[in-house]
Chains A and B, each alone.
Chain A
Amino acid sequence: MYEEFDPGQLVILAVALDEDVDAVRQWAREEPPVPLTYPVLIDRDHLLAELYDIVNVPTTIWIDEEGRIVRPRSIAPADDTFKDFTQIDSSIHNDALRAWVREGTLPLDDTEVRSRLHTPSADAQRARAERRLGMHLVRSGHRDAGERHLTTALELAPGDWAIHRGSMPVRGKDPFGQDFMDFYEVWEAAGRPDYES
């Protein structure tokens, strides 16, 4: 995916919201999310998530030559492997991307762009701070305190996959197994919040 574009037309910055450089390196090597001609960045502290109000992956944000956001954060699966779960047709994003890169066709008008640029809730922002604190504490050997703050983060942001699923490895849970399915069912029952495509 995305191999049809050259860096002259489109620069893709792949940002991994990940703790572990080695895991990112391995993933990038074995299953690169984007062609490796592009920089792969590590965002251990989820700074990008806070700047752009990202709550899940894979998420894309499109930025034009002048630095304007032309497509705010949206879920962008590379293909339809998980379409039953995502309920998103990947070709919609990818066809629009092609049209924007090749012809400059904007994917959304100004009103749609504005309506998708949200102010996060106070709880969402608190959750991000609690997550960051929790991870800092776990990393520095204070596991119990860290897990308390991660739990607070989960409670404050029930729809934030970057917090829930992202912290599963550290909390000893499997982001690809039953723990994730349990979270997914609760999230789906809540009406699939915050899942724009």
Chain B
Amino acid sequence: MSPASTPQRATIVDGDRVTMVAPIGAPDAETLHLSPEDLTRATGWSLRPEGLCRGDVCFPVRDRAAIVHDDAISLRGVADVLGRPLAYEPEPPVAVLGEAPQTVGASLASGRAPNFALPDLDGGTIELDDYAGRKRMLFAWSSW
């Protein structure tokens, strides 16, 4: 079986979402390309005439040719429009979309504690909001 006939799978990590997609074409050193459907599946963002949108929020795309060609969307192009860092390895293709600094900053500047859901030691999931209405202290620690 030649390498070309083995379908490649790329992993896209976005927060707590991990999605496998079939990249379009060969991933290069800078980016991988994916279909509009896979972009939405992996990140929640869609490329529309008005720009890159999620829910009611749209980022204008000034240079459309830089991020999409023949329905193949560059993940790095998307990250750049959104102002988000992209950590990317072409082999095997894995991409981690981080949060934009402004997103983290604005969330904290609101003064409201962002919710999260994490596993406990018994295999359950605990959310910060499970304890709404009580004083809480997050205690971040480690074994290192």
Q: List chain A positions with a Cβ less than 8 A from chain B.
A: 8-18, 20-21, 23-28, 33-34, 39-43, 45, 47-54, 57-65, 67-69, 72-73, 76, 97, 100-101, 113-114, 117-122, 124-126, 128-130, 132-134, 136-137, 140, 142, 145, 149, 152, 162, 165-166, 168-169, 175-176
Contact = CB atoms under 8 A, between A and B. Distances in A.
A119 B98 contact: no
B144 A132 contact: no
Contact of A15 (B11, B118, B135): B118
Interface of B: 11, 13, 15-16, 84-89, 91-92, 94-102, 104-109, 111-114, 116, 118-121, 126, 128-129, 131-144
A32 to B, nearest CB: 10
Contacts of B121: 21, 24-25, 28, 40, 42
6 contacts: A11-B131, A114-B111, A125-B104, A129-B97, A129-B98, A149-B89
B38 to A, nearest CB: 19
A18 B99 contact: no
Given A61-B113, A67-B113, A129-B96, A15 B102 contact: no
Contact of B139 (A15, A25, A64, A169): A15
Q: Which 3 A-B pairs have the closest CB atoms?
A: A119-B105, A129-B98, A129-B87
B105 A17 contact: no
Contacts of B88: 133
Contact of A126 (B85, B133, B137, B138): B85
Nearest to A72: B108
B124 to A, nearest CB: 8
A133 B101 contact: no
Given A13-B128, A149-B89, A20 B143 contact: yes
Given A65-B133, A120-B101, A165 B144 contact: yes
Contacts of A13: 126, 128, 131, 136-139
Contacts of A67: 112-113, 129, 132
